[in-house]
Every structure is written in C-alpha cells, then in structure tokens.
C-alpha cells in the first residue's frame, strides 16, 4: 500500500467536471472508493419535507464526493501540480513537482 498523495486539509484544484478550475480544501478522503470531498465544490441540494425534527423543511446543501483523479494539489501560485515523495532529513515528505516545495 502506497502513501496518500492527497490528504485531509490540502488545498486542491478541480481538473474536470462542472466545477473545473475551482479550488477548495479537502474535507474528507474516502480511500476505498478513490474519492474526496472538497469544501464548496460539487454541492448537491436535497429538498426536505417538513417533519417533527425539521418543522420548516427546506433545502439541504452539502458537498458530494469527487473522484480523486479529478483533483490536484494547488501549488503556491494556485495552479495544479503533481506530487512526489522525497526523503529529506531522514523523513519521507511530499514535494510539489513544479516548484520543489515541501507540501
């Protein structure tokens, strides 16, 4: 099993789909399904009927998972970059391919 290149809290850019070009923070990683949930991206609306627990009813909006291949880490300039692993000071760290910065 390899280490994850994208982790919770990373800033990412969406590469494909209706939200292409938008950026957001990873809220959740679902490794078994190869999906991630990105804040403010791929937001789906669920219309709720009024009931005892929610007497007003209304529309619930929440971000839905995206496939991990459709997002990439955002570099310091805000553009998408690939990630590689290097050993620095005896530790394995994630490094942005374009800039060489530690993520």
**What does pLDDT average to in each consecutive run of 10 residues of the chain (103 residues)?**
78 94 94 93 94 91 94 91 92 90 87
Tally of residues, the chain: 103
- Tokens 């494909």 belong to 16
pLDDT at 103: 85
11: nearest Cα among 93, 82, 75: 75
Instruction: State the pTM of this model.
Output: 0.82
Query: Cα separation of 38 and 77, whole Å?
Result: 19
Query: Cα separation of 65 and 34, whole Å?
Result: 9
pLDDT at 101: 87
Count other C-beta atoms under 10 Å from residue 93's C-beta: 12
pLDDT at 1: 36
């Amino acid at each position: 099993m390899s280490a994850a290149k994208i982790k919770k809290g990373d800033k990412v850019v969406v590469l494909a789909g209706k939200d292409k070009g938008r950026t957001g923070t990873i809220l959740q990683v679902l490794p078994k399904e190869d999906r991630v949930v990105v804040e403010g991206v791929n937001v789906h609306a669920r219309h709720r009927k009024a009931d005892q627990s929610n007497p007003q009813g209304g529309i619930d909006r929440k971000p839905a998972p995206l496939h991990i291949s459709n997002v990439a880490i955002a570099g310091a300039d805000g553009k998408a970059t690939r990630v590689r692993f290097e050993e620095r000071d005896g530790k394995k760290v994630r490094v942005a391919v374009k800039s060489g910065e530690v993520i």
